[in-house]
């Protein structure tokens, strides 16, 4: 019996080749997209699984509330790690870690930039780093030691037998290699290429001894049986016991949440991070699969008239309904397995472009048990979903009616379901099109936003070696290049501001409310180089010392201080210290978030804390020549430089990726839907061939007939659009609320999406319709 | 005045290997008001001829004048235009559209010639009255007997008041009583001035006509004019 089923199934696939191809290609694309999405989802969900003690690993979050709004940071005070390790029971290890440093490594002739962190010895133990050479206990016993990853060691020395070798750092000090660790897999939160003792960093930065300075990351591993609630309770107000009047609260934040959450609302409550995209794309994967299944259901029931006779004969010969259901199901299952095979090939073929797109290195790993089981389940599910409805529909035919040749009127019910399914397909496609357009427009909207200065032509380099100290002469040399307009020093790269404080006061300020203010330490050329506009007062004097107690603030801060002129007002920390006089107000420019309004900011005329050298160049002239001239000036210090506008584009990486992915899957959804529509149009054209011929003989023109054949499908697509509009609108409205600066939903986007879907549907259907309409009518009339 | 005048008409079917001459240099004339039967065995080319006369098919050689206009070089659009204004068709298998009612089926040619709704209703009602099927105007074709269906088909062919009716074995699917009804209907129409060309294999039916064109192997054997 089973053999018979398989035989008939294959013969049917071959007999209806074009429909089989439509089904299989659609389903294969569906399964392949699902596979790609799930590979990505798997990678995201298994993030940090490399660490077997993941459940015990935390970083410490710091919460500060200003003006009713709670901000959550990773930054913690320097003394915290050592102190909580001794004070709070249940904490096994605690380690400080820098934010990540790019250092210039020199080994013999090689000069290579490499990223890594300064960390406490506990860090090596809590991550169970796999030492290929050396070991975690002794690696940091000497001060100037360094641990390299396997890949980095090979890059520098060509081997991993490098313990005791010396590496020159930033053309100044030397570190001795004390260990080589196995590379971490890509899907962990860490991407360091080297680790060096935190002590080195601590010795250079005295502020690390302050409890009031939240400036480094603290990682913690708890004892396996530790009571987390207890630890959290003890840690929450820990800083207030060390620094009186502090409003900084701490909490443990589990490694399980780092990747997909790590996002907080204004009450300081955790909200969804990128997990929402993981969820969203999982849903899209299922939907695309369902769209592909719909094709099979539709084409199978549409062609039911052809199969009716077979059903009638089989029933007359004694086959019961169950046998027929099994037969039709085995047909769809066979088709699903053929499609799955093709899907594996497609997945392998597009994996590398997909990896490029999502910036990952996923592999298909088809023989991993999880993947085999998942593929098998998806295939079975497709087979059953697509086969179940046609199976029950076809097997319920009345044999007497069929064999007598009377036309079955059962078709109208199936026709209705078919229409419903086409509407579902196109609704989804239109929703995806609308989302793609809106996400794209939102990104463009923000990218084209006036950020307060011209970002084109600004480039910066990080201060290495003596670049900062020699700034005077470097600047003179730079300005000798005619294309270089200006140069300055600043402590955060433009687009960002890394330091902030809530301690500042001014006359008339409500003492109960603290305001978080960004702080930038800059050389006097800062405003003129970046091209900010002064709104009131003056720029810094060229002699930085003359302005050592003066500041320039931005409009956002000025508005908070007073509605009137603020130049001359003094600002000071609540615990005393220097009183700074406002000498100028600069027009708002954006930093940190390009989606929100400018936040309050103060500029200090103090380049000693600078980390970057920023230049403005004329990009109209030969840029390449200009850059090579700049290189000769800064080469001895740091040959690397970055363009602000390129850095700006990088800020939209997530959104750009989501937009591209939405676009790709929208195209796939509409492609699969159109495959189905084409198949359905072919069937309808075939079924109505006689009617079309009669109409033609009676004088109907080709245009009229094309319209006749296309009209019914068009109606479905239009209904689909009407369903898609409110759903997409609601969905996108909510998405846009995540961004303070966002576009308004525009009716034209919806109209455009509808027109696009309708035209694609028209092209698909009319191709077949025109073919039918221009066919010679006597052919189908004669066949009677 | 002649409705149809063909000279040396040729139709050749080509496949990859063989050429089949379906119509071999046929010439004849049909005058206005005539009722002509085309007879002959299966495969003699009579249906091919009818399709060409109905402007449904191309010819491969010779001249074809319809109402004294040379139509052999007409393109698809011109032929469709000529067809819908001048020719009505009646088929052996009725060829009514199952999804449309009797009224809608008969109305169809009027829609294609662009006649206004009110006028259409009047014309359809009139012709349905004439063939005595007005009481079935809202029924679907499957709900009618074969004879009734063919009468509806004739109504549809004449509703436009065409100069020429082409009938392809109109009684082939009917019993003799219904067949006679249909032949009587055609005769009545002819007496009112419509030219009719009918392909048939029935001697009985041919007796209703003025003359019979006998065909064999793509050629005309006799053009027998009756009194």
Render pLDDT for A491-533 as a digit per residue (tens, 0 to 9).
888 888 877 888 888 988 887 777 889 999 999 999 999 999 9
Antiparallel, parallel or unpaired: β B219-225 and A101-107: unpaired
Report the range out of A8-17, A173-182, A592-601, B139-148 with the highest average pLDDT: A173-182
> What does the pLDDT read at residue A406?
53
> What does the pLDDT read at residue A230?
92
Q: Which of A184-198, A362-376, A627-641 has the lowest mean pLDDT?
A: A627-641
Which of A691, A697, A782 shows the shortest C-beta gap to B89? A697
To which H or E segment does residue A94 belong? strand A91-97
Interface contact flag, A698 B97, Cβ < 8 Å: no
pLDDT at A649 over 90: no
Within 8 A by CB and 6+ apart from A698, the residues are B84, B89, B108, B109, B112, B156
Rounded Cα gap, residues A120 and A103, in angstroms: 18
A172-199: average pLDDT:
93
Percent of chain B with pLDDT over 90: 36
Rounded Cα gap, residues B27 and B5, in angstroms: 8
Query: Whose CA is closest to A453, among A739, A583, A644?
Result: A644
Direct distance between the N- and C-terminal alpha carbons of chain B, in angstroms, rounded to an integer: 19
Using one digit for the tens of pLDDT, what is the confidence trace for B80-120? 888 888 999 898 888 888 888 999 999 988 988 888 999 99
- For A45, the 3-state DSSP assignment is helix
**Lookup result for tokens 């990218």:** A447
Q: Which of A260-264, A373-377, A603-607, B116-120 has the lowest mean pLDDT?
A: A260-264
* Angle (deg, nearest 10), helices A2-15 and A17-45: 110
The pLDDT confidence band at residue A86, using thresholds 50, 70 and 90, is very high
Interface contact flag, A691 B98, Cβ < 8 Å: yes
Percent of chain B with pLDDT over 70: 99
Interface mutation target, options B54, B97, B172, chain A, most CBs of A under 10 Å: B97
Contact of A159 with A153, CB cutoff 8 Å: yes
Tokens standing for residue A700: 């109907």
Interface contact flag, B83 A697, Cβ < 8 Å: yes
CA distance A778 to chain B (A): 7
Cβ neighbours of A335 (radius 10 Å) = 24
pLDDT at A388 over 80: yes
CA distance B107 to chain A (A): 10
Cβ neighbours of A219 (radius 10 Å) = 23
B137-149: average pLDDT:
89
Q: Which residues of A touch B124 (CB under 8 A)?
A: none
CA distance A403 to chain B (A): 17
The torsion of the CA quartet A230, A231, A237, A241, rounded to 10 degrees, works out to 110
CA distance A359 to chain B (A): 56
B6-18: average pLDDT:
87
Interface mutation target, options A689, A696, A697, chain B, most CBs of B under 10 Å: A697
Rounded Cα gap, residues A432 and A731, in angstroms: 11
Chain B interface includes A695 (CB < 8 A): yes
pLDDT at A589 over 60: yes
pLDDT at A662 over 70: yes
Contact of A88 with A56, CB cutoff 8 Å: no
Partners of B168 in beta bridges: B199
Contact of A380 with A336, CB cutoff 8 Å: yes
A762-778: average pLDDT:
85
> What does the pLDDT read at residue A411?
57
Using one digit for the tens of pLDDT, what is the confidence trace for A428-463? 999 999 998 998 899 889 888 888 898 888 999 888
Chain B interface includes A698 (CB < 8 A): yes
- For A78, the 3-state DSSP assignment is coil
Chain B interface includes A384 (CB < 8 A): no
Using one digit for the tens of pLDDT, what is the confidence trace for A103-150? 888 888 788 889 999 999 999 999 999 999 999 999 999 999 999 999
Contact of A680 with A724, CB cutoff 8 Å: no
Choice between B36 and A324, residue whose per-residue pLDDT is larger: B36
Antiparallel, parallel or unpaired: β B35-39 and A69-73: unpaired
- For A302, the 3-state DSSP assignment is helix
Q: Which of A14-23, A158-167, A545-554, A772-781 has the lowest mean pLDDT?
A: A772-781
Rounded Cα gap, residues A495 and A612, in angstroms: 12
Average pLDDT, chain A: 88
Chain B interface includes A690 (CB < 8 A): yes
A557-563: average pLDDT:
89
Nearest CA in chain A to B107: A698
pLDDT at B60 over 50: yes
Within 8 A by CB and 6+ apart from A514, the residues are A66, A67, A247, A502, A503
pLDDT at A14 over 70: yes
Pick left, alpha or beta for residue A72 (phi over 0 → left; psi -120 to 50 → alpha; otherwise beta): beta
pLDDT at A645 over 70: yes
Long-range pairs for B132-136: beta carbons < 8 A, 24 or more residues apart: B133/B102, B136/B102
Q: Which residues of B touch A695 (CB under 8 A)?
A: 97, 108, 112
> What does the pLDDT read at residue A257?
92
Contact of A134 with A226, CB cutoff 8 Å: no
Within 8 A by CB and 6+ apart from A448, the residues are none
Partners of A580 in beta bridges: A571
Contact of A266 with A74, CB cutoff 8 Å: no
CA distance B92 to chain A (A): 9
Using one digit for the tens of pLDDT, what is the confidence trace for B152-185? 998 999 898 898 999 988 888 888 888 898 899 8
Tokens standing for residue A518: 């960004």
Rounded Cα gap, residues B197 and B179, in angstroms: 17
Q: How many CA atoms lie within 13 A of A505 on its CB side?
A: 13
Interface contact flag, A699 B51, Cβ < 8 Å: no
pLDDT at A44 over 80: yes
Tokens standing for residue A466: 């003596």
pLDDT at A783 over 50: no
> What does the pLDDT read at residue A409?
47
Choice between A398 and A478, residue whose per-residue pLDDT is larger: A478
Which of A694, A698, A702 shows the shortest C-beta gap to B84? A698
Rounded Cα gap, residues A57 and A47, in angstroms: 13
| CA angle, residues A696, A697, A700, in degrees to nearest 5 | 35
Using one digit for the tens of pLDDT, what is the confidence trace for A288-320? 999 999 988 888 877 776 777 777 777 777 778
> What does the pLDDT read at residue A405?
57
A712-724: average pLDDT:
93
Chain B interface includes A704 (CB < 8 A): yes
Q: Which residues of A touch B153 (CB under 8 A)?
A: none
**DSSP codes, A160-212:** S--TT-EEEETTS-EEEEEEEEPPPPSSSS---SEEEEHHHHHHH-GGGG-TT
A764-769: average pLDDT:
86
Cβ neighbours of B227 (radius 10 Å) = 4
């Amino acid at each position: 019996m089973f053999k018979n089923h398989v035989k008939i199934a294959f013969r049917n696939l071959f007999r209806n080749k074009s429909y089989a191809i439509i089904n299989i290609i659609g389903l294969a694309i569906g399964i392949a997209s699902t596979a790609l999405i799930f590979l990505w989802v798997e990678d995201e969900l298994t993030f940090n699984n490399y660490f077997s003690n993941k459940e015990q690993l935390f970083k410490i979050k710091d919460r500060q509330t200003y003006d009713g709004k709670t901000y959550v940071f990773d930054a913690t005070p320097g003394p915290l790690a050592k102190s909580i390790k001794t004070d709070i029971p249940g904490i096994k290890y605690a380690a400080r870690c820098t934010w990540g440093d790019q250092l210039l490594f020199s080994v013999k002739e090689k000069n290579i930039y490499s990223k890594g962190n300064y960390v406490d010895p506990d860090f090596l133990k809590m991550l169970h780093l796999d030492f290929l050479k050396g070991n975690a206990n002794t690696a940091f016993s000497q001060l100037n030691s360094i641990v390299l990853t396997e890949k980095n060691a090979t890059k520098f020395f060509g081997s991993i037998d490098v313990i005791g070798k010396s590496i020159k750092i930033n053309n100044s000090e030397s570190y001795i290699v004390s260990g080589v660790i196995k590379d971490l897999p890509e899907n962990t939160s860490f991407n360091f290429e080297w680790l060096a003792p935190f002590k080195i960093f601590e010795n250079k930065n005295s502020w690390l001894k302050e409890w009031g300075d939240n400036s480094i990351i603290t990682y913690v591993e708890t004892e396996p049986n530790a009571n987390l609630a207890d630890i959290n309770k003890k840690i929450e107000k820990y800083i207030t016991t060390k620094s009186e009047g502090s409003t900084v609260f701490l909490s443990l934040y589990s490694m399980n949440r780092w990747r997909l959450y790590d996002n907080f609302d204004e009450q300081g409550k955790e909200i969804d991070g990128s997990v929402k995209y993981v969820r969203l794309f999982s849903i899209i994967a299922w939907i695309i699969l369902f769209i592909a299944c719909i094709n099979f259901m539709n084409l199978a029931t549409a062609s039911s008239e052809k199969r009716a006779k077979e059903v009638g004969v089989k029933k007359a010969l004694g086959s019961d309904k169950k046998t027929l259901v099994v037969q039709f199901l085995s047909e769809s299952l066979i088709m699903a397995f053929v499609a799955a095979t093709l899907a594996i090939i497609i997945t392998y073929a597009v994996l590398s472009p997909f990896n490029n797109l999502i910036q990952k290195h996923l592999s298909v790993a088809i023989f991993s048990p999880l993947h085999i089981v998942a593929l098998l389940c998806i295939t079975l599910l497709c087979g059953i979903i697509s086969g179940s409805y046609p199976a029950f529909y076809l097997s319920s035919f009345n044999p007497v009616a069929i064999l007598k040749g009377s036309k079955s009127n059962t078709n109208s019910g199936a026709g209705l379901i078919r229409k419903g399914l086409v509407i579902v397909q196109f609704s989804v496609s239109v929703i995806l099109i609308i989302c793609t357009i809106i996400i794209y427009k939102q990104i463009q909207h923000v990218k084209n936003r006036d950020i307060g200065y011209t970002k084109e032509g600004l480039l910066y380099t990080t201060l290495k070696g003596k670049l900062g100290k020699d700034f005077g002469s470097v600047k003179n040399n730079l300005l000798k290049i005619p294309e270089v307009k200006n140069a300055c020093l600043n402590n955060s790269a433009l687009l960002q501001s890394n330091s902030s404080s809530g301690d500042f006061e001014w006359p008339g300020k409500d003492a109960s409310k603290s305001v978080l203010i960004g702080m930038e330490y800059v050389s006097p050329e800062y405003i003129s180089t970046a091209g900010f506009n002064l709104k009131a007062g003056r720029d810094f004097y060229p002699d930085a010392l003359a302005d050592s107690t003066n500041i320039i603030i931005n409009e956002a801060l000025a508005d908070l201080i007073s509605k009137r002129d603020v130049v001359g007002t003094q600002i000071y920390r609540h615990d005393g210290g220097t009183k700074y006089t406002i000498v100028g107000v600069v027009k708002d420019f954006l930093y940190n978030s390009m989606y929100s309004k400018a936040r309050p900011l103060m500029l200090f005329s103090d380049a000693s804390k600078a980390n970057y050298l920023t230049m403005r160049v004329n990009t109209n002239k030969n840029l390449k020549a200009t850059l090579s001239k700049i290189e000769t000036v800064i080469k001895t210090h740091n040959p690397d430089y970055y363009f602000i506008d390129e850095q700006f584009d990088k800020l939209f990486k997530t959104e750009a990726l989501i937009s591209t992915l939405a676009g790709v899957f929208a195209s796939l959804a509409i492609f699969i839907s159109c495959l189905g529509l084409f198949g359905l149009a072919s069937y309808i054209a075939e079924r109505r061939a006689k009617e079309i011929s009669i109409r033609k003989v009676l004088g109907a023109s080709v245009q009229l007939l094309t319209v006749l054949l296309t009209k019914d499908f068009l109606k479905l697509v239009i209904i689909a659009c009407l369903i898609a509009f409110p759903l997409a609108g609601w969905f996108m409205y909510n998405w846009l609320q995540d961004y303070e600066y966002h576009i308004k939903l525009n009716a034209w986007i919806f109209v455009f999406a509808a027109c696009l879907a309708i035209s694609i549907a028209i092209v698909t259907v009319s191709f077949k319709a025109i073919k039918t309409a221009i066919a010679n009518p006597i052919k189908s009339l004669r066949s009677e | 005045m002649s409705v149809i005048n063909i000279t040396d008409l040729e139709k050749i079917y080509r496949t990859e290997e063989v050429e089949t001459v379906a119509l071999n240099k046929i010439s004849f004339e049909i005058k206005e008001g005539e009722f002509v039967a085309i007879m002959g065995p299966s495969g003699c080319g009579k249906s091919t001829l009818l399709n060409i006369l109905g402007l449904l098919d191309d010819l491969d050689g010779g001249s074809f004048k319809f109402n004294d206009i040379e139509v052999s070089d007409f393109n698809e659009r011109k032929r469709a235009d000529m067809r819908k204004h001048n020719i009505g068709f009646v088929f052996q298998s009725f060829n009514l559209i199952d999804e449309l009612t009797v009224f809608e089926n008969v109305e169809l040619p009027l829609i294609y010639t662009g006649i206004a709704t009110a006028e259409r209703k009047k014309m359809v009602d009139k012709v349905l009255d004439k063939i005595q099927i007005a009481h079935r105007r809202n029924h679907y074709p499957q709900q009618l007997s074969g004879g009734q269906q063919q009468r509806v088909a004739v109504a549809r062919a004449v509703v436009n008041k065409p100069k020429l009716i082409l009938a392809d074995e109109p009684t082939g699917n009917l019993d003799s009583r219904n067949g006679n009804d249909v032949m009587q209907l055609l005769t009545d129409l002819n007496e009112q001035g419509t030219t009719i060309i009918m392909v048939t294999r029935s001697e009985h039916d041919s007796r209703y006509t003025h003359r019979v064109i006998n065909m064999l192997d793509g050629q005309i054997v006799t053009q027998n004019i009756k009194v």
